[in-house]
Structure 1
């Protein structure tokens, strides 16, 4: 089935679906209907809704579609590069809409860090490692992705970690990486890497405030778990770069 054969646009159908979306809100449409709107098809048109439903089923649902690689998605039978690009663009817009509107947000707790990272780390199929660099007032001055790995591993070069901090003249850093499996429980390797990086940071007079492992809608803070070497958590609810009021 060719790309243009995915659903025929019934006369007036697109206009009706748009009116329904504006009247009831996008949340009133199903995942399949939203895909049809993204493609410029009427959700109720012949073949359109069936094609959208088949795509979601083939990919394993909307979240799996979010995790799909561009090359993989454009190769789906009946989809084609144009509609694949439309889907990818819509999904990326959704991700970006979740990001903090502040260019340099002030983040003081593991929960705030998790909320900040979720749009970037929450739906990836491979592990990535971020270094969040802070000044003395808990303001994020740089967010660097320093490593990308596979489904269950991500080799991290300490030189890349500390280079990001030094270039941004950071006072402290927060380490973060994701677990594509959805389980945020730190592995033995995660804990070992953290201890190694904390030891290296001391030589550079840097504070490692925390290491967050991000899973599917959840996270683990190594500081909260007591897994961060020499960790000092001021109030058990927030950390502070300077150790004072910030």
Structure 2
């Protein structure tokens, strides 16, 4: 069916303007991004087909360029646009987090960490540097490893923390397996980093492990 034959309230753009973006389905949101359909499918049908083929909207968005462009109706231009949208989303979350106190916004912190780390195919170790009022000074991915491990050096964490003149840090890393439950190795390296930073009066406030739809907090477990 052509979109022209649909009532205005069923068109994604008009629905968003009338009821807000939260009222749209995943397919309707994707349709606005795609703008046009392909031969034999209007844009809503194409969006629904792409999401089902990828397994989910997240599956489509986390695909590599090669995986993304194999879908009919998607090419390099759309891939570039999508990557720009995803990067803007991460920067928005980062900016929002940096305007406030990281500890009074635990959900915002988890949301940002999840968007940053969840879909990485290799393990990445991230550090959030905070001042003495727990406001964010800076953040960075400090180490990257194989699909199941990262070489994390406490001395490098201490060096970067001193470079930023921070009073505290929040640590995070992802589990590419999707299982967020911390390992004994995770607990050991957290203790080693905490002990090393304590020597220069810098506290580790939390360590988050990011999995598939779940983030485990060491502080909430009483491990820090």
Which category of TM-score, normalised to the shorter sequence, fits these structures?
A: 0.7 to 0.9
- Which protein has the bigger helix share? 2
Alignment match, 1:243: none
- Give the CA deviation at 1:214: 2.4
Unaligned runs of 5+ in 2: none
1:162–1:201 CA contact under 8 A, matched in 2: yes
- Normalized against structure 1, the TM-score is what? 0.72
Following superposition of structure 1 onto structure 2, how do residues 91-110 of structure 1 map, counting pairs within 5 Å?
91-101=86-96, 103-108=98-103
Matches within 5 A, 1:49-198: 49-101=44-96, 103-108=98-103, 111=106, 113-198=109-194
- CA pair 195-110 structure 1, distance change in 2 beyond 3 A: farther
Aligned length: 219
3-state DSSP of counterpart to 1:190? helix
Q: Determine helix, strand or coil for the equivalent of 1:224.
A: helix
Root mean square deviation of aligned Cα = 3.2
Do the aligned residues in 1 keep the contact of 2:37 with 2:46 (CA within 8 Å)?
no
Q: Is the 8 A contact 1:131 1:145 kept in 2?
A: yes
- Equivalent-residue separation in structure 1 for 2:54 and 2:206 (angstroms): 35
**Cα separation, 1, equivalents of 2:181 and 2:155:** 25
The match for 2:32 among 24, 32, 37 is 37
Instruction: Output one character per residue of 1:15-63: Cα deviation in whole Å (capped at 9) or x when no partner.
Output: 95432332233333332232222122269x8343333233222322112
In 1, Cα distance between equivalents of 2:127 and 2:93: 20
User: Are 1:213 and 2:209 an aligned pair?
Assistant: yes
Q: Secondary structure at the match of 1:101?
A: helix
Query: Where do 5+ consecutive residues of structure 1 fail to align?
Result: 1-7, 229-246
Which entry has the higher C-alpha Rg, 1 or 2? 1
TM-score (norm 2): 0.78
Q: Is the 8 A contact 1:172 1:209 kept in 2?
A: yes
Compute the displacement of 1:164 (Å).
1.9
Q: Does structure 2 retain, via aligned residues, the 8 Å contact 1:39–1:86?
A: no
Counterparts of 2:92 and 2:105, CA distance in 1: 21
